[in-house]
Structure 1
Amino acid sequence: MKNRLVRYITHHRRYHQLIEWLKGRRINRRQASLYSVLLVLIGKIRKDELVDRGNAVAFNFTLSVFPLLIFIFTLIPFISAQIPGLEVNIMGFLEEVVPPDIWGQVAPTIQDIVSNQRSNLLSFGFLSAIYFAGSGILSLMRAFNAIYRTKEKRSYLRTRGVATVITFLLAGVLFVAIILIIVGQVVLDWLDNQNLLHDLLDGRITVWGIVALRFVVVFLIFQVAISFIYYLAPSIKERWHFFNWGSVFASLACIAVSFGFAYYVSSFGTYNRLYGSIGTLIALMIWFYLLGMILLIGFEINASIDKASRKDFDPKSNPAIG
């Protein structure tokens, strides 16, 4: 049955038209055609055991996220006096990003942490965040090296240092995102108080414009964060462009999966009824698993473009169907 379906597809006129169209599309002005990239990508996804690597990434992310969040949230009370509205905007931002059922469980704890200064927890959170968050990044680095078919050439200390640098960069991106959200809200409030929004545009266009602007900001946050990971994590000599097709795909997919999973959990999810409060942890791990798979597939796209761009690449050795 499968062979008959494959023969039908490969002998169809539309199939050959699609192949010719894909061969005519070029990626980043390089030698690789979209057809060659898809051939490599399909073959690599089959061989690279992404499900197992996604499970490992999700497990390490689950271990690393709590110390990292403790450190970041414990730092907030020390700087909230200099940035009015910081605490409120952080809680609002997290409420939009985190799936509702998960947010309902963790919101009181986060609210308590960001409202009270705890210097002893800050020092503990700093040390544990560096170690565990670095371990989460290390799992991604190992997965990237396996996908790219390269060995880790950096020493353990240098590898751990790169993981720590990526951790700090991601934390920095998060802080910049929070500041942008605060500044944006201040600007919108000022425009609204001056009645400039209603004078320039009608209400419906204004609402859609604000929604679009928020989406662009969220996309840029994901894009910069993922680009840092793809640029620094793998042990390769020739670096890709900082912004690349893999990071664009991963950014859009992470946003779509986050909002889609949040909608599913709030509308159809029954894990909380079955497992009680531990269901929140299960939902969190599923979310991390989906994000981890997206990061791996985005890296697969970059690796496929790189392989298909090589002069010795032979499309016949990478069959798309079969």
Structure 2
Amino acid sequence: MNSNVVVFFKKLIKRYTAHNIAATSAQIAYYWIMAFFPFLIFIISLLTYTKIPAGILLEYIAKIVPASSVPFIQNTINQFIINRSTTLLSVGMLFTLWSGGTAVNALAGGIHLAYNSKPVKPFWLSRLTAVLYTILLAVLIIVLMVGLVFGNRLGDYIMESLHMNKGIFMPIWQLGRLIMPFLALIAILYIIYRIIPRKHLKCKNVWPGTVVVSLGWYFFSLIFSIYVDNYSKYNQLYGSIGGVFVLLIWLYSSCMLLLVGAEINSLYQELKTNHVIRKIERIRTT
């Protein structure tokens, strides 16, 4: 293995321990799980006032979260639908913003630590910034869902308006819809790693962590889902709440990947800067 790669991984492992990523990931996951179900309340409350069936929401959630958590989420969704009210809509939105904002604050703290940058101050400004990031994330998720749900109709409308051949362009459009969640993930991660550190970062120094985390999250979710569905005994150990533990572990691991991505970007930039400095010093001494 290339010596530079070995050095990079050794430094990354030291950063993982020194920056206490495991504990920070647990903190972020705790607040995300608190925001997850209120966010579902908010989305489902909106859907029940439209002609879009709530089953579509579950269909796309099932593609993201581990399969063992889907029955628990489905039961929760059914209860929300039965007890639909405007109060749930308001409370769900407010609680999502508060819990999500707290999770974003914890995530931002981990990213600032990775870059050794200063967080937003004072407290009210950092809270407001975190809420704005949460709203941005929620909007991106809603836009993604709308794109997935109405993708066929949108494609038909565009092709009819532009007089395009559906036989040629519709398969391409369908392929685009399949990779849309992955592209959305890359876009969200890029925004997080580009904006939160509050430092001047070159675009090329943001991509390594973005790509690694995107691919890592995809393959981790796939492998973890296979493991839970075939080898895990969570449901036997914990009964009906086994799905909650699976969801917590998945969220915890996902948060850990997010922080590791920030460490990768920061370390990559640091090593490149050190290389440039050494090169300049060699030129001066010659």
For normalisation by structure 1, the TM-score amounts to 0.72
Aligned-pair identity in percent equals: 25
**Aligned AA for 1:253?**
G
1:141 equivalent in alignment to 2:103: no
Which of 88, 98, 123 aligns to 2:90? It is 123
Q: State the SS of the aligned residue for 2:62.
A: helix
Q: Partner letter of residue 129 of structure 1?
A: T
* 2:181 equivalent to 1:218: yes
**Distance change >3 Å, CA 240–CA 107, structure 1 → 2:** farther
- In the alignment, the residues of structure 2 paired with residue 45 and residue 109 of structure 1 have an alpha-carbon distance, to the nearest angstrom, of 36
Please point out which of 237, 241, 257 is paired with 2:199.
Answer: 237
Taking the aligned partners of 1:176 and 1:138, their CA distance within structure 2 comes to 23
Check conservation: 2:120, 2:126, Cα contact below 8 A.
no
Equivalence for 1:266? 229
Gaps of 5+ in 1: 1-14, 23-33, 191-195, 315-322
Distance 1:267 1:35 in 2: 34
Highest CA radius of gyration, 1 or 2? 1
Amino acid at match of 1:87: A
- Residue matched to 2:18: 47
Query: What does residue 124 of structure 2 align with?
Result: 157
Candidates 25, 35, 58, aligned match of 2:29: 58
Distance 2:126 2:138 in 1: 18
> Counterpart of 2:119 in 1: which secondary structure?
coil
- Residue identity matched to 2:199: K
Question: Aligned partners of 2:195 and 2:168: how far apart in 1?
Answer: 44
Stretches of structure 2 that go unaligned for 5 or more consecutive residues are: 158-164, 279-286
Secondary structure of the corresponding residue to residue 106 of structure 2? helix
Change (3 A) 1:125 1:46: closer
Distance 1:304 1:86, change over 3 A: farther
Asked whether the 8 Å contact 2:72–2:241 carries over to 1, the reply is: no
1:255 corresponds to = 218
- Please state whether the residue corresponding to 1:96 is helix, strand or coil: coil
* CA apart distance, 1:177: 1.0
- C-alpha spacing 1:146/1:95, structure 2 compared with 1 (3 Å): same
Give the Å deviation of 1:66. Answer: 2.2
In the alignment, the residues of structure 2 paired with residue 268 and residue 189 of structure 1 have an alpha-carbon distance, to the nearest angstrom, of 43
Amino acid at match of 1:241: C
Give the conservation status (yes or no) of the 8 Å contact 1:64–1:133.
Answer: yes
Q: Which amino acid aligns with 2:139?
A: G
Distance 1:39 1:188, change over 3 A: same
Corresponding pairs, count: 269
Q: Equivalents in 2 of 1:282, 1:88: separation in Å?
A: 23
Instruction: Decide whether aligned partners of structure 1 residues 224 and 113 sit closer, same or farther in structure 2, where only a CA change above 3 A counts.
Output: farther
CA shift, 1:52, in A, is 1.9
Counterpart Cα distance in 2 of 1:69 and 1:227: 25
* Pairwise CA distance, 1:286: 0.4
Contact 1:77/1:116 (<8 A) preserved: no
Find the aligned partners of 1:53 and 1:240 in 2 and give their Cα distance.
26
Q: SS at the partner of 1:248?
A: helix
Deviation at 1:69, TM superposition (A): 2.4
Between the aligned partners of 2:92 and 2:168, the Cα distance in structure 1 is 47
CA–CA distance in 2 between the matches of 1:290 and 1:215?
24
Contact conserved, 1:97 with 1:259, CA < 8 A, in 2?
Answer: no
Report the residue type matching 1:233 in the other structure. Answer: I
Which string of whole-angstrom CA distances, capped at 9 and with x for unpartnered residues, describes residues 146-193 of structure 1?
A: 222233242211111111111111111111111221233447899xxx
**Aligned runs of 1:12-23 on 2, under 5 Å?**
18-19=2-3
284-293 vs 180-189, greater mean Cα deviation: 180-189
TM-score (norm 2): 0.81
Match of 2:284 in 1: none
Aligned partners of 1:114, 1:174: CA distance in 2, in Å?
20
Q: Secondary structure at the match of 1:90?
A: helix
- Give distance in 2, aligned partners of 1:163 and 1:240: 23
Superposed CA offset, 1:55-108 (max 9, x none): 222222222222222222222223x24xxx463432211122222221111213
Instruction: Deviation per CA, 1:287-311: give whole Å up to 9, x if none.
Output: 1111011101111111112211224
Q: 1:21-66, CA deviations, whole angstroms, 9 ceiling, x for partnerless residues?
A: x5xxxxxxxxxxx677556434423432222222222222222222
Aligned pair in 2 of structure 1 residues 268, 146: CA closer, same or farther (>3 Å)? same
- Cα displacement (A) at 1:258: 1.9
- What letter is aligned with 1:262? S
